[in-house]
């Protein structure tokens, strides 16, 4: 579980965002397709669950889509401040169906945030991606893909509006910092970064 654990944001930490901290906020991602790429899963998971937490605080509905074989550890998620009773979790047989499930959920108009954890299986048919892009705009929903793809180019496709690389580094015995390096931002340009101080769960301390 250590490699999949969600890092807990320290209450006293102040996010550092340049040039404007509003760039990494749910309203900024609404109506767009976003990709969080991460070779170290906890950094990407923490970034995504931060958006889930923000969505729940604003009284909106969030959904998390993953595969039957991926690791989704409810205790770590709950410890990070997420209300599991208010989070719709969908498990699909394989990664190929994750994007189709996202299509269904966004089309319902119920969810302000849909996170699709597709791991290393980034290939999504262009017609489906185009449809998701249109649905995100129509319902003003944030669609966030979690991948394990490195490099500057997205393997998902050119319709990704915002692509960030998530990473973490240890800063103390049980302290970490997770960071987002912006690789692509159609709205603002790749000119900003984001970082938060976190405490690791038991498996990472």
Which of 3-7, 121-125, 179-183 shows the lowest per-residue confidence on average (mean pLDDT)?
Answer: 3-7
pLDDT at 14: 37
| Tally of domains in the chain | 1
The residues, any chain, with a CB within 8 Å of residue 68's CB and separated by 6 or more, are 91, 92, 93, 94
- Prediction pTM value: 0.84
Q: What is the pLDDT of residues 135-154, one digit of tens each?
A: 999 999 999 999 887 666 67
Q: What is the pLDDT of residues 88-111, one digit of tens each?
A: 999 998 877 999 999 999 999 999
Residue 200 structural domain:
2-204
CATH for 167:
3.40.50.300
Other residues' Cβ atoms within 10 Å of the Cβ of residue 91: 15
């Amino acid at each position: 579980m250590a490699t999949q654990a969600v890092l807990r944001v320290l209450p006293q930490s102040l996010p550092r965002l340049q040039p404007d901290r509003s760039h990494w906020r749910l309203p900024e991602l609404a109506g767009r397709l976003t990709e969080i790429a991460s070779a170290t899963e906890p950094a990407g998971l923490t970034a995504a669950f931060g958006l889930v937490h923000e969505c729940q605080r604003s009284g909106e509905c969030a959904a998390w889509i993953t595969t039957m074989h991926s690791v989704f550890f409810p205790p770590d998620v709950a410890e990070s401040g997420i209300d599991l009773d208010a989070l719709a979790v969908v498990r699909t047989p394989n990664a190929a169906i994750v994007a189709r499930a996202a299509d269904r959920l966004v089309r319902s108009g119920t969810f302000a945030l849909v996170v699709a954890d597709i791991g290393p299986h980034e290939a999504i048919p262009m017609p489906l991606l185009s449809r998701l892009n249109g649905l995100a705009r129509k319902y003003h929903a944030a669609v966030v893909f979690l991948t394990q793809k490195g490099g500057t180019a997205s393997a998902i496709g050119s319709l990704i509006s915002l692509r960030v690389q998530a990473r973490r580094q240890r800063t103390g015995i049980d302290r970490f910092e997770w960071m987002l390096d912006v690789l692509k931002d159609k709205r603002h340009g790749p000119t900003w970064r984001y970082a938060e101080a976190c405490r690791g769960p038991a498996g990472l301390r």
